[in-house]
Structure 1
Amino acid sequence: MAAAADGGHTAAGWLRLGRDGRLTAYASCAEGLVRWTESEPGSDLWHGPHLFPVEGWTGRFTLTQDAHGFVWFAATRHRDGAPEGREFVLAAQYQTSRPLSDWRVLGNPFPPADASAPEPGTPVVLADGAGCLHYFATRFGVGVRARTQRKDGSWAAWADHELRWVRGAVVPTEHGQGRVGFLAPFRGGAVQLGQEKPGEGAFAWLGRMEADAAEGTYSSCETSPGVATHFWRAPADGTVVACRPPGTGVVTTGGFMSLGGAGGVGPVGVVRTPINGYDCTVLLQRGAEGHPEIAAYPTEGEQYGTWWAPVGDRCAGLPAVALDARGSVTIAMIGTDGGLRIARQDLAAEGLAFGPWRCVG
């Protein structure tokens, strides 16, 4: 399919497990969204690629999944008459393999800027445990603005979270008990904000990390109840860095842990899974040579170090990692020919071993 020939833009977390046990992969192309779906849980037969055209598509999107298994997509598109010709939009997939909803227009919360001003960052949507959606838009020099869809389906007006020095999109975080939050990167670190309880549109300041990071490389994972570990790349060589702030409301200036992976690009994919009976964190990156590389270590045991192993051919965009219906670590990548390839953990093997790559769409 020519629409996916170069892999398009791959959003973080673009491989998702539906409530029916089937995995779905999502990517972007010039015309809109592209989707592949397992024919049944754990199958090597997939349906797709299926194209969902979007008029005025700008090519970049993010996605999240709520407690009902609904997948939500945040994006921007061009439209004549919109502020600066751009509007923020939202769509949903309510069931695995079903069509997407219509795109809902949420407007554009930013005042017109001069031609030299940076474009808004890619919008981000979060779903909390109370059934509310939170849609975030960012613009350097203006800050973070957000709309919340309440449980009854109504939308609040755009709220201004300030943070005018934010760089790029915010990064989703989880805080346990259905609470969500985000990291707002700035030059020299990131500010962490989060809900005090699900269903609130207010996000409180939770702390700040002061460390240089390569732009666009943050990711986060809840590694124990209510505790998140954050990851980013050192700007000097692309090494993956981990940080677990020691508490709420603190400024963290040290204790950053290097996890190797020098030369890699973009944010790492993160999942947790038992390996040989131990709770482990699995990291996936696009390595220096453009190949997927994987590492694993005991969760919150960064002091033990990591060893990165290449696990496939060159890929277009970032690879993705998720657990399938059996709990098997599953790696996905889009090949340079635009095809989707999948490799699954061999659960019968010791350690973290994978079966062969299969081209599934």
Structure 2
Amino acid sequence: MNGDWLLRGRDGRLSVYLLSDDAVLCRAERASGGPWSAPRRIGGEQKLRASVAVGQGGDGYGHLVAWRPTVSGESGLVHSVHFRSHLAALDWAPIGHPDKKGDLTGPPALAVDAEGRVHVFVRNKGGGVSMVAQKEKGGWTPWRDLKGRDVEGELAAVTGESGRVEVYAAVPGGILYWRQQEAGAQPVLEEAMEAPVRPDTLYALATSPDATTLFYTDDSGDLCVWRPGAKPVTLLPSAGPGPVSAVRCELDGHDCTLLAQRSASGRVAFAAYPTEQESAGAWWTESGPGLPADAAVSLAVDEDDRVVAATLSPSTARLLLTRRKDEPVLALEAWREV
């Protein structure tokens, strides 16, 4: 799952999305803070292939994009929207292929702009990045080639506080960065930054009116932070091999960025620091039980402005959850299975 798979809907309820065999399943709170529903298939009976992107707009609607098999040896991308976590999502609708036809080319990523339009990004057969976006009055634009080359692993798409969409991609020895110059415009390649980046470790977060922040792991295993236009900085050693999840929240009256990652020990590690003030330093604190190697972690803020962390393992389908206590600093409730 590429993106934040733990979401708070416009009704305040939390929901999670998980890939299971050839389908995406959803579980949701029956009431805010209450019991959870059983897993339910998203988007009808269409069979899917591995790699699903999840995102959310300011309206609280959840969007999903996935690959589906078409004819023998070929695949195409499909999109579904989930208006309410306790209601059925729309059936999967085809949105095409970055090269018109062919097999899957890479994991998709998506972001939703201020007008609620979905932007889908995926590697094309040339190794660059292509995109397709919803039109303002319905339908989809033609596929556009954003250029680039030798793109590796998952892309990181994000919507800035300005409402404009941005996307990051790892390439050998560096990171590429595209950004919309204005709402509705095609993102343009603005910067290519040299960095020893590990593919599949990118995570982007909107951190101020003028900037988004990219988190990634370098070849030495350090978790690094980069805001385009500046130099990357090393924040702290990575807790584990996978990507981090991040969310902005208020801790003791301060705007902070909270990170979570499955650690090398198998537990969830948390670190927090004042947003965009990496010089303040950060350190990991582990929490919860040991998790399978395929377990992922995602963060959200509930309708009471409490941080919520969830872990999910595709091999076991176990969903574990914790919330921040109403106490100073980052005190968490006991993890519980739902």
Query: What's the TM-score bracket when you normalise by the shorter of the two chains?
Result: over 0.9
SS in 1 for 2:279: helix
Code of the residue aligned with 2:248 in structure 1: it is R
Matches of 2:104 and 2:49 in 1, distance apart? 12
What residue in structure 2 maps to residue 86 of structure 1? 75
Deviations 1:42-95 (A, max 9, x none): 22x1112223465432122011111221111011011225xx421111111112
What residue in structure 1 maps to residue 188 of structure 2? 204
Query: 1:112 and 1:37, CA in 2 relative to 1: closer, same or farther beyond 3 A?
Result: closer
* Aligned counterparts, 1:332-351, within 5 A: 332-334=310-312, 337-347=316-326, 349-351=327-329
TM-score by length of 2: 0.92
Matches of 2:196 and 2:266 in 1, distance apart? 24
What residue in structure 2 maps to residue 214 of structure 1? 198
Code of the residue aligned with 2:289 in structure 1: it is D
What residue in structure 2 maps to residue 66 of structure 1? 57
Q: Tell me, yes or no, if the aligned pair for 2:222 and 2:234 is still in contact at 8 Å.
A: no
Residue 46 of structure 1 pairs with residue 36 of structure 2: yes
Q: Compute the displacement of 1:119 (Å).
A: 5.1
Deviations 1:162-199 (A, max 9, x none): 21322233211333221111012211111111112222
Matches of 1:107 and 1:337 in 2, distance apart? 32
Residue 243 of structure 1 pairs with residue 226 of structure 2: yes
* Aligned counterparts, 1:347-358, within 5 A: 347=326, 349-358=327-336
Structure 1: runs of 5 or more not aligned: 1-9
Matches of 2:197 and 2:266 in 1, distance apart? 20
CA RMSD after TM alignment:
2.0
Residue 99 of structure 1 pairs with residue 88 of structure 2: yes
Q: Tell me, yes or no, if the aligned pair for 2:235 and 2:282 is still in contact at 8 Å.
A: no
What residue in structure 1 maps to residue 211 of structure 2? 227
* Aligned counterparts, 1:221-300, within 5 A: 221-236=205-220, 238-245=221-228, 247=229, 254-262=231-239, 264-300=240-276
Matches of 1:119 and 1:214 in 2, distance apart? 22
Q: Tell me, yes or no, if the aligned pair for 2:75 and 2:104 is still in contact at 8 Å.
A: no
Code of the residue aligned with 1:126 in structure 2: it is A
Matches of 1:12 and 1:255 in 2, distance apart? 22
Task: Determine what percentage of the aligned residue pairs are the same residue.
Answer: 30
Matches of 1:12 and 1:129 in 2, distance apart? 18
Q: Tell me, yes or no, if the aligned pair for 1:139 and 1:166 is still in contact at 8 Å.
A: no
Q: Compute the displacement of 1:112 (Å).
A: 7.0
Matches of 2:7 and 2:225 in 1, distance apart? 24
* Aligned counterparts, 1:120-131, within 5 A: 120-131=105-116
- Choose between structure 1 and 2 for higher RCO, CA contacts under 8 A separated by at least 6 residues: 1
Q: Compute the displacement of 1:287 (Å).
A: 0.8
Q: Compute the displacement of 1:139 (Å).
A: 3.2
Deviations 1:321-354 (A, max 9, x none): 110111111010125642211100002x121010
What residue in structure 2 maps to residue 162 of structure 1? 147
TM-score by length of 1: 0.87
Q: Tell me, yes or no, if the aligned pair for 2:262 and 2:297 is still in contact at 8 Å.
A: yes
Code of the residue aligned with 1:89 in structure 2: it is V
What residue in structure 2 maps to residue 17 of structure 1? 8
What residue in structure 2 maps to residue 56 of structure 1? 47
Code of the residue aligned with 1:203 in structure 2: it is P
Matches of 1:211 and 1:277 in 2, distance apart? 34
Matches of 1:186 and 1:77 in 2, distance apart? 26
* Number of equivalenced pairs: 334
Matches of 1:255 and 1:19 in 2, distance apart? 35
* Aligned counterparts, 1:122-141, within 5 A: 122-139=107-124, 141=126
Structure 2: runs of 5 or more not aligned: none
Q: Compute the displacement of 1:317 (Å).
A: 2.5
Q: Tell me, yes or no, if the aligned pair for 2:74 and 2:104 is still in contact at 8 Å.
A: no
Matches of 1:148 and 1:219 in 2, distance apart? 21
Residue 329 of structure 1 pairs with residue 307 of structure 2: yes
SS in 2 for 1:41: coil
Q: Tell me, yes or no, if the aligned pair for 1:33 and 1:54 is still in contact at 8 Å.
A: no
